[in-house]
Amino acid sequence: MNIMIPSNINGMYLIQQVSDMTGLSKQVIRKWEERYNLLQPKRLENGYRVYSDIDINNLLSVKALSRQGHSIKQAVELTKERSIVLDIVPDHLISIQHQETLNAYVFQLLEKGTHCDELELNLILQQAYYSFGLADFLTSVIIPFLNEVGNRWDRKEWSEYQESVSSLIVRDFLVQIRRNFQCREDAPLILGACLPHERHEIPLHILLLQFMMKGWKTILVGASPASGSVESLIGKLKPAKVLLSATTMAPFDNDPNLLKNLDQFALANKQIDFYLGGLGAIEYAKNKTLLAIRVTNSIEETLS
DSSP conformation letters of 38-57: ----EE-TTS-EEB-HHHHH
Q: Categorize the per-residue pLDDT at 87 as very low, low, confident or very high, splitting at 50, 70 and 90.
A: low
Q: pLDDT per residue over 229-241, tens digit each?
A: 999 999 999 999 9
Q: Tell me if 242 sits within 8 A of 210, measured CB to CB.
A: no
Instruction: Name the phi and psi angles at 276, rounded to 5.
Output: -125, 125
CATH of the domain at 277: 3.40.50.280
Kindly state whether residues 224 and 137 are assigned to the same domain: no
Q: Are residues 87 and 150 in the same domain?
A: no
CATH code (residue 170): 1.10.1240.10
What is the CA 303 to chain-centroid distance, rounded? 20
Among 99, 130, 160, the domain-final residue is 99
Last residue of a domain, one of 29, 64, 99: 99
Q: 93 versus 184: which is more confidently predicted?
A: 184
Average pLDDT score over the chain: 88
Q: What is the pTM of this model?
A: 0.82
Domain count, the chain: 3
Is residue 82 domain-shared with residue 120, that is, in the same domain? no
Asked if 76 and 107 sit in the same domain, the reply is no
CATH of the domain at 51: 1.10.1660.10
- The parent domain of residue 219 ranges over 184-303
